[in-house]
Amino acid sequence: MEPDDPSAVRRLLLVGFMGSGKSTVGRLLARRLGWTFLDIDEVVASREGRSVARIIADDGEPYFRRLEHDATMEQSEQDRVVIATGGGWPVVPGRLEALGAGAASVWLDVPVEELVTRLAGSEAVRPLLREGTSEARIRSLLERRRSFYRRATVTVDGSGAPEEVTERILDAIPGLRGPRDAHPTQERLS
Ligand code: S3P
């Protein structure tokens, strides 16, 4: 793919459940591509001067959702950017489909058992899980969201080490790997 090809992917949005690795993998991926990394939760929290948990506790989830959507839409106008979206952002009909040309969305699909392990003890910092991180709770929320996440441009296995997940994304989206990036090394990621 030529660099000025208008159909080339110029921005990537990582979507998926809490704990699926959007921020960790997003940072690695951005570094790998030489692109900017943005975490929408961080953008919103910094604009508001308080954490996402505090915003939701003080002003409610609908208020947070508006801020989250506005921030995601603004930031996704940039080029050469990897964006870690919040886990609830794509869970509205038409959200992913409305992303314009040049954007690709990636669902980091992580088995529920691995999510349960990753999310254990995070009740205080994850408002959507304040009632608990039991497998039943995580499974039921994930089941309600799965059909939305599935609409992403590509689905990538998000289990295992973030470096491996990063490689899977580079493999899954045509044109992301430059000719000199065909043989990744662990070293380059560190
Ligand atoms: C949420 C996920 C969180 C954050 C908020 C709501 C969700 O982001 O946006 O607590 O609805 O799944 P992460 O997916 O980065 O944890």
Predicted TM-score (pTM) of the model is 0.92
22 and 16 Cβ atoms separated by less than 8 Å: yes
Mean pLDDT estimate for the chain: 92
- 92-139 pLDDT, tens digit per residue, is 999 999 998 899 999 999 999 999 999 999 998 999 999 999 999 999
Atom of ligand 1 nearest to the CA of 16: 14
Q: How many CB atoms lie within 10 A of CB 155?
A: 17
Q: Is the CB of 158 under 6 A from ligand 1?
A: no
- Give the residue ranges of DSSP H helices in the chain: 22-33, 40-48, 52-59, 61-75, 112-119, 135-149, 162-172, 186-189
- The alpha carbon of 86 and the centre of ligand 1 are apart by a number of angstroms equal to 4
Atom of ligand 1 nearest to the CA of 88: 11
Three-state DSSP class for residue 40: helix
Q: How many CB atoms lie within 10 A of CB 104?
A: 20
Q: How many CB atoms lie within 10 A of CB 71?
A: 22
- The alpha carbon of 82 and the centre of ligand 1 are apart by a number of angstroms equal to 17
Q: How confident is the model over 65-79, as a mean pLDDT?
A: 96
The pLDDT > 90 percentage for the chain reads 85
